[in-house]
Structure 1
Amino acid sequence: MLSTRILAAFQKHFSATPLLVRAPGRVNLIGEHTDYNNGFVLPAAIDKEIVFAVALNNTSKARLYSYDNKAHCTVELTGLQPGKPHWANYLKGVVAQFQQRGITVPGFDCVFGGNVPIGAGMSSSAAVECGLAFALNELLGTTLSRMELARIAQLAEHEFAGVQCGIMDQFASLFGQPNQVVRLDCRSLEYEYFPFDTQACHIVLCNSGVKHSLASSEYNTRRQECEQGVSVLRRYYPEVTSLRDATLAQLETHQAEMGAVVYRRCRYVVEENQRVELACQHLAAGNLVAFGQAMYASHAGLRDDYAVSCSELDVLVEAARALPGVYGARMMGGGFGGCTINLVAPEQVAAFVAAMQAAYQQQLGLKLETYQTTIVGGVSALEPTSIPA
């Protein structure tokens, strides 16, 4: 059991009795590339998680141990700066955010490790940030809200890992609820839960196993293209401050001025926001078939209009579409690799996995790794009594 191993590692390296915390990774059922356009997303916390053991140590240093890397790092907690090893930056960034809020962070010992696959689009970095933020909040008695902890974790990633992420990943890790997905308004940060019956439908992730080098540069380009579209619309509609405010009719009216590429990028975002709203209605009505059709439409938009898919992801989605018991499939995350997310009837999951592995090997000569996940609650403390001796 993961928590048992982390606790044992802490007891091996340090002497105190630690606080134990679990922080889940996340999936996003629909609503891709909408977060930085002030739109809607529909994530859920999943049962792949990072577990922390943390205790104050009466020094001015953080003594960190990455269980998965089998690596130590000791950090002086004054004048924090990003550096080597890279994995420690996520933790240092969280401490720096507490300090920027005027909170003194004393020395602490920390062991962490988990089973969130790295690079598969399940937000292992957000789980690391949120887990430590939650643990420090508990140990220091700072009573910060979960939303404030999400902001701390997001800014840690901006400033110490150099990734200008939206807040969805950190939000999902902290605000997850069992058997619920959560629609987040990325502008107002208002949110609403919708039931997701994991008995009627399983979430299966198919990891393409690739990450094309285009990913980061094209991500920044997409942000710029969306901003270009907004700047055109604002000349005519001052109320349009992001694509969240735009309509398809407005885009079509000014299509020539935007140019074909910017128009397609903006059209995808506006349509994807509409799909999230409709998908929530389908969930509330228990209509998984209609929800799945929205997922396929999302993937088509990401492939054709937003142009962030790749041949490996497209092969996986088309292979899934042909199989019995599959409600829907689409690429998940920034694109150019990573995972597809698939909604599959429980009795068909084993056959689905076998068929997908065979199709991926046959069509691309690649081995396919899959993960079955359930939807769980957000970051929480673990009671030592619940951990086997």
Structure 2
Amino acid sequence: MKNTLHQEFNKLYNKEADNAYFSPGRVNLIGEHIDYNGGLVMPCAITFGTYLLTSPNEDGVFRFRSLNFSEKQDVPVQQHYEKEGDNWFNFPIGVIEHFTRDGHELKGLDMLFYGDIPIGSGLSSSASIEVVTAYALNDIFNAGYSKLDLVKLAKSVENNFIGVNCGIMDQFAVAFGEKNKALMLNCDTLDYQAVDSNLGDYVLAIINTNKPRKLAESKYNERVQECAQALAALQTELKINYLCDIDADIFKKHEHLITDAVVLKRAKHVIEENDRVKLAAAALANNDLTEFGKLMYASHNSLRDQYEVSGIELDTIAEYSKTDPNVAGARMTGAGFGGCAIALVKRDSFDAYSQAVSDYYTQKIGYEPSVYSSLIGNGVGLLSVAVN
């Protein structure tokens, strides 16, 4: 892949690339819909991601090219940059705008992007593009940002330049990911622990439902509101800032304060899911993938029944996975209502699982899912300075 990209760069720009960078996508292994409730999430970097090749130019222009999109753009180096429609190059332009606003002097750069993350799958292709661009500019122009600075910068680009109200988990995971480690991250304090996650004989199957995710954003905002209601009710007796400031035992003693049955279900998921993340970290650290798999199924069931953000597509994948003896666990991952599910599958049975889950899903849903195999990979970094 690396050699092919260098050849394409040469074809486009008639010169060699100076540097090659890579930033992964991410999945959240467990801990869903609790990042905005002060809880713990457990994402990991995957082995799919975004490649960026660069070379300086003397023309005072940023040139954006991608092997994934036909749209290309040349933008003069200037003091201020605007978003242009819904084009893919808004992500790197937003990063450049942020560097410029922070007072960094940038010069012309020829860029070639290539991503092997399925677009719109919920595996953080946008965070991957933002972080790889920020990392490259920081490296090339010696801007002096720390990795955490780059994470915050990329989140700010997503929120303020692109206009998507996301949390910090995606950017954090693609920047700080480590091979064979999951990140147990507190999204409020940004304290994190890298948890040994050697998958051994297993691989991470990522199953894209291929369902357009039309409901995700409106339902996401609805859930945020319901959690705020639950918190306000509990705060009449408890001194807490977030739902995740209490565990399931304390919640049980005070759940009578929440009088709305639906809001009660939402709070129950959040608090129990937060506890599940801690149990999952212990299971992974002990190399107990059987226990970790049970927690994945429990998480999915709660997202389906208590939080109601799953759907027939994601449930069908979890349902089939439970019947397959070569699967340790499976769950929906991400906001829900489509997007992806993940499963821990025996490495030597992956092809059989992929075929069987596709057949089962297609028969029930009417179209095929896409199934990928991944390991837990490293975060953003410099790949090479030459073709060889």
- In the other structure, the counterpart of 1:152 is 153
> Secondary structure of 1:62's partner?
strand
- In the other structure, the counterpart of 1:5 is 4
CA distance in 1 between partners of 2:104 and 2:259 (Å): 47
How far does residue 220 in structure 1 lie from its aligned partner after superposition?
1.2
CA distance in 2 between partners of 1:43 and 1:224 (Å): 24
Please tell me whether the aligned partners of residues 233 and 257 of structure 2 are also in contact (alpha carbons under 8 angstroms): no
- In the other structure, the counterpart of 1:295 is 296
Please tell me whether the aligned partners of residues 234 and 258 of structure 2 are also in contact (alpha carbons under 8 angstroms): no
How far does residue 31 in structure 1 lie from its aligned partner after superposition?
0.9
> Secondary structure of 1:342's partner?
strand
- In the other structure, the counterpart of 2:235 is 234
> Secondary structure of 2:88's partner?
helix
> Secondary structure of 1:87's partner?
coil
Q: Which runs of 4+ in 1 moved over 6 A?
A: none
- In the other structure, the counterpart of 1:225 is 226
- In the other structure, the counterpart of 2:129 is 128
- In the other structure, the counterpart of 1:48 is 48
Please tell me whether the aligned partners of residues 251 and 266 of structure 1 are also in contact (alpha carbons under 8 angstroms): no
**345-354 or 367-376, which deviates more:** 345-354
> Secondary structure of 1:229's partner?
helix
State the one-letter code of the partner of 2:3: T
Question: Which TM-score applies when normalising by structure 2?
Answer: 0.94
CA distance in 1 between partners of 2:381 and 2:116 (Å): 17
- In the other structure, the counterpart of 1:97 is 98
State the one-letter code of the partner of 2:52: F
CA distance in 2 between partners of 1:320 and 1:219 (Å): 26
How far does residue 139 in structure 1 lie from its aligned partner after superposition?
0.5
Please tell me whether the aligned partners of residues 234 and 254 of structure 2 are also in contact (alpha carbons under 8 angstroms): no
Question: Which TM-score applies when normalising by structure 1?
Answer: 0.94
> Secondary structure of 1:209's partner?
coil
> Secondary structure of 1:358's partner?
helix
Pairs within 5 Å for 1:235-274: 235-238=236-239, 240-248=240-248, 249-250=250-251, 253-255=254-256, 257-274=258-275
Q: CA RMSD in A?
A: 1.7
How far does residue 85 in structure 1 lie from its aligned partner after superposition?
4.7
Q: Which runs of 5+ in 1 are unaligned?
A: none
Pairs within 5 Å for 1:2-151: 3-14=2-13, 15=15, 17-76=17-76, 77-151=78-152
How far does residue 255 in structure 1 lie from its aligned partner after superposition?
3.8
Pairs within 5 Å for 1:286-365: 286-365=287-366
Please tell me whether the aligned partners of residues 209 and 339 of structure 2 are also in contact (alpha carbons under 8 angstroms): yes
- In the other structure, the counterpart of 1:173 is 174
Please tell me whether the aligned partners of residues 6 and 52 of structure 1 are also in contact (alpha carbons under 8 angstroms): no
How far does residue 316 in structure 1 lie from its aligned partner after superposition?
0.8
> Secondary structure of 1:187's partner?
coil
Q: Which runs of 5+ in 2 are unaligned?
A: none
> Secondary structure of 2:31's partner?
coil
Please tell me whether the aligned partners of residues 24 and 379 of structure 1 are also in contact (alpha carbons under 8 angstroms): yes
> Secondary structure of 1:65's partner?
strand
* Residues 259-289 of structure 1: per-residue CA shift (max 9 Å, x gap): 1111111111111110000000011111111
Pick closer, same or farther for the CA change 1:311–1:17 going to 2, 3 Å: closer
Please tell me whether the aligned partners of residues 131 and 151 of structure 2 are also in contact (alpha carbons under 8 angstroms): yes
Please tell me whether the aligned partners of residues 204 and 372 of structure 1 are also in contact (alpha carbons under 8 angstroms): yes
CA distance in 2 between partners of 1:80 and 1:252 (Å): 53
CA distance in 1 between partners of 2:113 and 2:20 (Å): 10
State the one-letter code of the partner of 1:144: Y
